[in-house]
Amino acid sequence: MSGFSELWPLGGVGPWDKSTFMMLPKGGANLVILEGASLRELAYDHNKFVLTEVTNENRLKIEKGLHEEVASRLRPALGALKKDSRLLLVRKRSGTEDNITIGKGGGSGTLQVGQYPQRRYSLAFKFMQHDKSKRPSRWKPEDAAGWLAKLNAIYGAQANITFEMAEKPDYFTVESVLPQPIDQQAFDNHIVAHKSKIATRKDKVTGKDNPPVLTVFLVGKWKSDSHANGSTFSDQKVSVITDEPEHPKESLVAADPFMLTLAHEIGHWVLYQRGFKQGSHHHPRQGILQSIHIQSLRFDKQLMNNLNTYG
Protein backbone atom coordinates (compact mmCIF):
# COMPACT_ATOMS: atom_id res chain seq x y z
CA MET A 1 0.00 0.00 0.00
CA SER A 2 1.34 3.43 -0.89
CA GLY A 3 1.47 6.32 1.54
CA PHE A 4 3.60 8.76 3.52
CA SER A 5 5.26 8.14 6.90
CA GLU A 6 7.50 9.88 9.45
CA LEU A 7 11.21 9.44 10.06
CA TRP A 8 10.62 9.59 13.82
CA PRO A 9 7.82 10.85 16.10
CA LEU A 10 9.31 14.30 16.80
CA GLY A 11 10.04 15.30 13.22
CA GLY A 12 6.94 17.33 12.46
CA VAL A 13 5.28 14.62 10.37
CA GLY A 14 2.38 12.54 11.61
CA PRO A 15 -1.10 11.13 11.03
CA TRP A 16 -4.01 13.56 10.82
CA ASP A 17 -7.56 12.32 10.20
CA LYS A 18 -7.28 10.24 7.01
CA SER A 19 -4.04 11.76 5.79
CA THR A 20 -0.51 12.63 6.89
CA PHE A 21 0.49 16.12 7.95
CA MET A 22 3.91 17.81 7.64
CA MET A 23 5.22 20.94 9.35
CA LEU A 24 7.38 22.87 6.90
CA PRO A 25 9.49 25.75 8.26
CA LYS A 26 8.98 28.85 6.15
CA GLY A 27 11.95 29.20 3.85
CA GLY A 28 13.19 25.76 4.88
CA ALA A 29 12.54 22.09 4.24
CA ASN A 30 11.53 18.86 5.93
CA LEU A 31 11.74 15.14 5.20
CA VAL A 32 9.07 12.49 4.70
CA ILE A 33 9.16 8.84 3.66
CA LEU A 34 7.22 7.93 0.52
CA GLU A 35 6.16 4.28 0.57
CA GLY A 36 5.15 2.13 -2.39
CA ALA A 37 5.29 4.88 -5.02
CA SER A 38 7.69 7.01 -7.06
CA LEU A 39 7.94 10.77 -7.55
CA ARG A 40 6.30 10.36 -10.99
CA GLU A 41 3.12 9.16 -9.29
CA LEU A 42 2.78 12.26 -7.10
CA ALA A 43 0.23 14.95 -7.91
CA TYR A 44 0.97 18.45 -6.57
CA ASP A 45 1.18 22.10 -7.60
CA HIS A 46 4.61 22.45 -9.18
CA ASN A 47 4.42 26.21 -8.74
CA LYS A 48 4.27 25.76 -4.96
CA PHE A 49 6.35 22.68 -4.19
CA VAL A 50 9.87 21.51 -4.91
CA LEU A 51 10.35 17.79 -4.21
CA THR A 52 13.73 16.07 -4.24
CA GLU A 53 14.50 12.41 -3.67
CA VAL A 54 17.29 12.08 -1.11
CA THR A 55 20.13 9.71 -1.93
CA ASN A 56 23.57 8.96 -0.55
CA GLU A 57 24.97 11.12 -3.36
CA ASN A 58 23.11 14.32 -2.44
CA ARG A 59 22.77 13.67 1.31
CA LEU A 60 25.49 16.05 2.49
CA LYS A 61 24.15 18.93 0.40
CA ILE A 62 20.60 18.38 1.63
CA GLU A 63 21.61 18.17 5.30
CA LYS A 64 22.79 21.79 5.23
CA GLY A 65 19.28 23.13 4.63
CA LEU A 66 17.51 21.18 7.39
CA HIS A 67 16.83 21.77 11.06
CA GLU A 68 19.80 20.14 12.79
CA GLU A 69 17.59 17.63 14.60
CA VAL A 70 16.04 16.54 11.30
CA ALA A 71 19.46 16.47 9.61
CA SER A 72 20.79 14.12 12.29
CA ARG A 73 18.10 11.59 11.33
CA LEU A 74 18.74 11.72 7.59
CA ARG A 75 21.58 9.22 7.29
CA PRO A 76 19.99 6.57 9.56
CA ALA A 77 16.70 6.99 7.68
CA LEU A 78 18.39 6.34 4.34
CA GLY A 79 19.98 3.18 5.69
CA ALA A 80 16.67 1.87 7.05
CA LEU A 81 14.51 2.47 3.95
CA LYS A 82 12.51 -0.47 2.64
CA LYS A 83 13.02 -1.52 -0.97
CA ASP A 84 9.81 0.16 -2.13
CA SER A 85 10.32 3.36 -0.12
CA ARG A 86 11.99 6.69 -0.86
CA LEU A 87 13.09 9.60 1.30
CA LEU A 88 11.75 12.94 0.06
CA LEU A 89 12.92 16.48 0.74
CA VAL A 90 9.95 18.86 0.61
CA ARG A 91 10.23 22.61 0.02
CA LYS A 92 7.43 25.10 -0.55
CA ARG A 93 7.63 28.28 -2.60
CA SER A 94 4.28 29.75 -1.57
CA GLY A 95 0.94 29.07 0.11
CA THR A 96 0.02 28.10 3.65
CA GLU A 97 -1.46 24.58 3.50
CA ASP A 98 -1.46 22.49 0.31
CA ASN A 99 -1.58 18.80 -0.53
CA ILE A 100 0.64 16.28 -2.23
CA THR A 101 -1.24 13.14 -3.30
CA ILE A 102 -0.29 9.78 -4.74
CA GLY A 103 -2.12 9.64 -8.06
CA LYS A 104 -5.83 10.21 -7.48
CA GLY A 105 -5.60 8.64 -4.06
CA GLY A 106 -6.77 9.92 -0.73
CA GLY A 107 -6.42 8.43 2.72
CA SER A 108 -2.83 7.62 3.55
CA GLY A 109 -1.93 8.71 0.02
CA THR A 110 -2.36 12.39 0.91
CA LEU A 111 0.30 14.58 2.52
CA GLN A 112 -0.98 17.88 3.90
CA VAL A 113 1.87 20.42 4.11
CA GLY A 114 1.60 23.52 6.28
CA GLN A 115 4.23 26.26 6.15
CA TYR A 116 5.18 27.86 9.48
CA PRO A 117 7.13 31.07 10.19
CA GLN A 118 9.89 31.04 12.77
CA ARG A 119 8.92 32.37 16.19
CA ARG A 120 11.38 33.20 18.97
CA TYR A 121 10.99 33.26 22.74
CA SER A 122 13.42 34.22 25.50
CA LEU A 123 13.85 32.27 28.74
CA ALA A 124 15.63 32.98 32.03
CA PHE A 125 16.55 30.14 34.40
CA LYS A 126 16.97 31.00 38.08
CA PHE A 127 18.00 28.65 40.90
CA MET A 128 17.11 29.30 44.52
CA GLN A 129 19.70 29.39 47.27
CA HIS A 130 19.63 30.50 50.91
CA ASP A 131 23.40 30.79 50.85
CA LYS A 132 26.14 28.93 48.98
CA SER A 133 25.81 25.92 51.25
CA LYS A 134 22.01 25.76 51.10
CA ARG A 135 20.87 25.20 47.53
CA PRO A 136 17.70 23.06 47.56
CA SER A 137 17.65 22.11 43.87
CA ARG A 138 19.70 19.21 42.53
CA TRP A 139 19.98 21.19 39.28
CA LYS A 140 22.62 23.85 38.63
CA PRO A 141 22.82 26.88 36.31
CA GLU A 142 25.17 25.02 33.99
CA ASP A 143 22.39 22.48 33.30
CA ALA A 144 20.22 25.11 31.63
CA ALA A 145 22.15 25.19 28.33
CA GLY A 146 21.35 21.52 27.78
CA TRP A 147 17.68 22.13 28.49
CA LEU A 148 17.60 24.96 25.98
CA ALA A 149 19.17 22.77 23.30
CA LYS A 150 16.58 20.06 23.92
CA LEU A 151 13.70 22.54 23.84
CA ASN A 152 14.96 23.83 20.50
CA ALA A 153 15.11 20.27 19.19
CA ILE A 154 11.56 19.49 20.40
CA TYR A 155 9.90 22.74 19.33
CA GLY A 156 12.12 23.56 16.37
CA ALA A 157 11.61 20.38 14.39
CA GLN A 158 7.87 20.25 15.12
CA ALA A 159 6.70 23.88 15.12
CA ASN A 160 9.64 26.05 13.93
CA ILE A 161 9.90 27.70 17.35
CA THR A 162 13.26 28.78 18.77
CA PHE A 163 14.24 29.61 22.35
CA GLU A 164 17.18 31.67 23.53
CA MET A 165 18.66 32.70 26.87
CA ALA A 166 17.57 36.14 27.98
CA GLU A 167 20.40 36.22 30.52
CA LYS A 168 23.01 33.94 32.02
CA PRO A 169 21.42 31.27 34.27
CA ASP A 170 22.29 31.95 37.91
CA TYR A 171 21.31 31.62 41.55
CA PHE A 172 19.08 34.03 43.43
CA THR A 173 19.16 34.30 47.21
CA VAL A 174 16.22 34.02 49.58
CA GLU A 175 17.35 35.03 53.07
CA SER A 176 14.72 33.03 54.97
CA VAL A 177 15.19 29.27 54.80
CA LEU A 178 11.96 28.06 53.20
CA PRO A 179 10.70 24.58 54.08
CA GLN A 180 10.48 22.02 51.28
CA PRO A 181 8.38 21.55 49.27
CA ILE A 182 7.79 25.16 48.24
CA ASP A 183 4.10 26.05 48.31
CA GLN A 184 2.17 28.81 46.60
CA GLN A 185 2.42 31.23 49.50
CA ALA A 186 6.19 30.89 49.79
CA PHE A 187 6.51 31.24 46.03
CA ASP A 188 4.45 34.41 45.96
CA ASN A 189 6.09 35.96 49.02
CA HIS A 190 9.75 35.12 48.47
CA ILE A 191 10.46 33.95 44.91
CA VAL A 192 8.40 35.64 42.17
CA ALA A 193 10.08 38.99 42.76
CA HIS A 194 13.39 37.48 41.60
CA LYS A 195 12.14 36.99 38.03
CA SER A 196 14.10 38.47 35.14
CA LYS A 197 14.13 42.26 34.91
CA ILE A 198 15.01 42.28 31.23
CA ALA A 199 12.57 44.32 29.16
CA THR A 200 11.17 43.10 25.85
CA ARG A 201 13.59 43.61 22.98
CA LYS A 202 12.98 43.94 19.27
CA ASP A 203 13.58 40.90 17.09
CA LYS A 204 16.77 41.36 15.07
CA VAL A 205 15.15 39.78 12.00
CA THR A 206 11.59 41.15 11.98
CA GLY A 207 12.08 44.38 13.93
CA LYS A 208 8.96 43.59 15.97
CA ASP A 209 8.81 43.40 19.75
CA ASN A 210 9.63 39.93 21.04
CA PRO A 211 7.34 38.31 23.62
CA PRO A 212 8.29 39.04 27.26
CA VAL A 213 10.92 36.91 28.99
CA LEU A 214 9.63 33.84 30.83
CA THR A 215 11.54 33.08 34.03
CA VAL A 216 11.78 29.41 34.98
CA PHE A 217 12.48 28.86 38.67
CA LEU A 218 14.18 25.79 40.15
CA VAL A 219 13.41 25.67 43.86
CA GLY A 220 13.95 22.03 44.80
CA LYS A 221 10.54 20.54 45.47
CA TRP A 222 7.38 22.30 44.32
CA LYS A 223 3.97 21.68 45.87
CA SER A 224 0.68 22.43 44.13
CA ASP A 225 -2.66 20.73 44.59
CA SER A 226 -3.40 20.81 40.86
CA HIS A 227 0.04 20.85 39.20
CA ALA A 228 2.56 19.02 41.35
CA ASN A 229 5.20 18.66 38.62
CA GLY A 230 5.27 22.31 37.64
CA SER A 231 3.17 25.42 37.26
CA THR A 232 3.14 28.38 34.89
CA PHE A 233 1.72 31.73 35.93
CA SER A 234 1.61 33.45 32.57
CA ASP A 235 0.31 36.78 33.81
CA GLN A 236 3.36 36.97 36.10
CA LYS A 237 5.71 35.68 33.36
CA VAL A 238 7.05 32.82 35.53
CA SER A 239 7.15 29.04 35.70
CA VAL A 240 8.31 26.77 38.53
CA ILE A 241 9.30 23.12 38.14
CA THR A 242 9.92 20.46 40.73
CA ASP A 243 13.28 18.70 40.58
CA GLU A 244 11.97 15.20 39.98
CA PRO A 245 8.61 15.22 38.20
CA GLU A 246 6.47 12.10 38.12
CA HIS A 247 4.65 10.90 35.00
CA PRO A 248 2.93 7.65 33.97
CA LYS A 249 5.43 5.23 32.41
CA GLU A 250 3.58 5.44 29.10
CA SER A 251 4.47 9.14 28.87
CA LEU A 252 8.17 8.50 29.20
CA VAL A 253 8.86 6.56 26.03
CA ALA A 254 11.99 8.32 24.76
CA ALA A 255 11.23 11.21 27.13
CA ASP A 256 13.03 12.38 30.23
CA PRO A 257 10.46 13.28 32.94
CA PHE A 258 12.09 16.65 33.63
CA MET A 259 12.17 17.61 29.95
CA LEU A 260 8.58 16.47 29.49
CA THR A 261 7.54 18.76 32.34
CA LEU A 262 9.66 21.67 31.10
CA ALA A 263 8.31 21.32 27.54
CA HIS A 264 4.77 21.19 28.94
CA GLU A 265 5.19 24.35 31.01
CA ILE A 266 6.88 26.17 28.13
CA GLY A 267 3.89 25.12 26.01
CA HIS A 268 1.60 26.99 28.41
CA TRP A 269 3.69 30.13 27.93
CA VAL A 270 3.72 29.93 24.13
CA LEU A 271 -0.01 29.24 23.97
CA TYR A 272 -0.65 32.19 26.27
CA GLN A 273 1.43 34.43 24.01
CA ARG A 274 -0.56 33.15 21.03
CA GLY A 275 -3.76 34.36 22.67
CA PHE A 276 -5.15 31.18 24.23
CA LYS A 277 -6.67 31.46 27.67
CA GLN A 278 -5.01 29.30 30.33
CA GLY A 279 -8.07 27.06 30.61
CA SER A 280 -7.85 26.04 26.93
CA HIS A 281 -4.26 24.78 26.99
CA HIS A 282 -4.99 21.15 27.86
CA HIS A 283 -6.74 18.75 25.49
CA PRO A 284 -7.92 15.09 25.45
CA ARG A 285 -5.76 13.80 22.57
CA GLN A 286 -3.71 10.83 23.77
CA GLY A 287 0.05 10.84 23.30
CA ILE A 288 0.35 14.55 22.46
CA LEU A 289 2.04 17.24 24.56
CA GLN A 290 -0.40 19.12 26.84
CA SER A 291 -2.81 16.16 26.94
CA ILE A 292 -4.91 15.64 30.07
CA HIS A 293 -4.36 11.92 29.53
CA ILE A 294 -1.09 10.22 28.56
CA GLN A 295 1.15 12.81 26.91
CA SER A 296 4.53 12.77 25.20
CA LEU A 297 6.87 15.26 23.54
CA ARG A 298 5.02 14.82 20.27
CA PHE A 299 2.96 17.58 18.62
CA ASP A 300 0.01 16.90 16.33
CA LYS A 301 -1.41 19.23 13.68
CA GLN A 302 -3.77 20.93 16.12
CA LEU A 303 -1.05 21.66 18.66
CA MET A 304 1.34 22.85 15.93
CA ASN A 305 -1.30 25.27 14.66
CA ASN A 306 -2.07 26.53 18.16
CA LEU A 307 1.61 27.09 18.97
CA ASN A 308 2.51 28.64 15.63
CA THR A 309 -0.21 29.55 13.13
CA TYR A 310 0.55 29.33 9.42
CA GLY A 311 2.30 32.33 7.98
Higher pLDDT pick, 252 / 201: 201
**pLDDT score of 104:** 62
Of the given ranges (46-55, 122-131, 158-167, 242-251), which has the lowest mean pLDDT? 242-251
Provide mean pLDDT across the span 138-147. 98
| Architecture (CATH level 2) of domain 119-307 | 3-Layer(aba) Sandwich (3.40)
Percent of the chain with pLDDT over 70: 95
For residue range 238-297, list pLDDT tens digits in order.
999 999 998 887 766 667 999 999 999 999 999 999 999 877 799 999 999 999 888 999
Domains 3-116 and 119-307 share a fold: no
Per-residue pLDDT at 1: 76
pLDDT band at 12 (very low <50, low <70, confident <90, very high): very high
Structural domain 3-116, CATH architecture? Sandwich (2.60)
Reported as a pLDDT band with limits 50, 70 and 90, residue 124 is: very high
pLDDT grade for 113, boundaries at 50, 70 and 90: very high
Predicted local confidence at residue 81, as pLDDT: 94
Task: Provide the percentage of residues in the chain whose pLDDT is more than 90.
Answer: 79
Q: Give the pLDDT confidence score for residue 299 in this predicted structure.
A: 95
3-state secondary structure the chain: CCEEECCCCCCCEEEECCEEEEEEECCCEEEEEEECCCHHHEECCCCCEEEEECCCCCHHHHHCCCCHHHHHHHHHHHHHCCCCEEEEEEEECCCCEEEEEECCCCHHHEEEEEEECCEEEEEEEEEEECECCECCCCCCHHHHHHHHHHHHHHHHHHHCEEEEECCCCEEEECCCCCCCCECHHHHHHHHHHHCCCCCCCECCCCCCECCCCEEEEECCCECCCCCCCEEEEHHHCEEEECCCCCCCHHHHCCCCHHHHHHHHHHHHHHHHHCCCCHHHCCECCCCCCCECCCCCCCCCHHHHHHHCCCC
Residue 269's pLDDT is 97
pLDDT band with cut points at 50, 70 and 90 for residue 15:
confident
pLDDT of 209 > 80? The answer is: no
What's the pLDDT at 108?
63
Domain-by-domain residue ranges, the chain?
A: 3-116, 119-307
On the question of pLDDT at 231 being above 90, the answer is yes
pLDDT at 94: 87
pLDDT at 76 over 80: yes
Q: How much is the mean pLDDT over the chain?
A: 91
For residue 254, what pLDDT is reported?
Answer: 62
